[in-house]
Amino acid sequence: MTTVHDGQVLATPLRVEVRGRQPRPQGSMVSRRNHVVDSNPQHRIWRAHLAKVIEASAKSQGYPPQVVGVRVTIQFRFGRPRKAIQERMRIPFTGETPDIDKLSRSALDALQEARIIRNDCQVVILASSKIYVDNVDDVGLTMTVESVTESDLTVWAAEQGWT
């Protein structure tokens, strides 16, 4: 379903699902032999895969590239660590590495690579979480992307108690 607000066509939210693949953070840049490289070599593979999944999802859902601000919601899912399994710990979330900001940065760059957004500065609301899952097939991420209008931001700010 597509809606029109203030003469601008806004798409319904894009939903992206990746299962069975461990999310990888965007690492810091390090200098090696006069070259600057990503400290996490698995990051490029993950981001390229995620960009392809985003492109396929956008195509199948008829989601157009966005020229307005967007809200992005991401849930990263990781396998429960062996220690937690052995001790039968049922903690639902992970307070361990990787950092959620580096995971989010990688996902936002994949959105840009898939040409859903021109630049990640278009993201005006970002909500990210990371949790443990028991089934290895559930490892991955779920992401939604939706257009945001000025009135949406006003309502959101009020919900946060900022107005």
Q: Provide the residue-wise pLDDT of the chain in tens; the chain has 163 residues.
A: 444 445 555 568 999 999 988 888 887 666 777 776 666 677 788 999 999 999 999 999 999 888 888 999 999 998 877 665 556 656 666 566 788 999 999 999 999 999 999 999 999 999 999 988 888 889 999 999 998 877 777 887 788 887 6
Check: CB of residue 64 under 8 Å from CB of residue 11: yes
Q: CATH no. for residue 113? A: 3.30.1330.70
Check: CB of residue 131 under 8 Å from CB of residue 76: yes
Q: At what angle do helices 100-113 and 42-61 cross, to 10 degrees?
A: 50
User: How many structural domains does the chain have?
Assistant: 1
The pTM of the whole model exceeds 0.85: no
- Please choose, from the candidates 80, 78, 82, 117, the residue with its C-alpha nearest in 3D space to the C-alpha of residue 100: 78
Check: CB of residue 24 under 8 Å from CB of residue 42: yes
Domain span at 141: 3-159
CA 18 remoteness from chain centre: 11
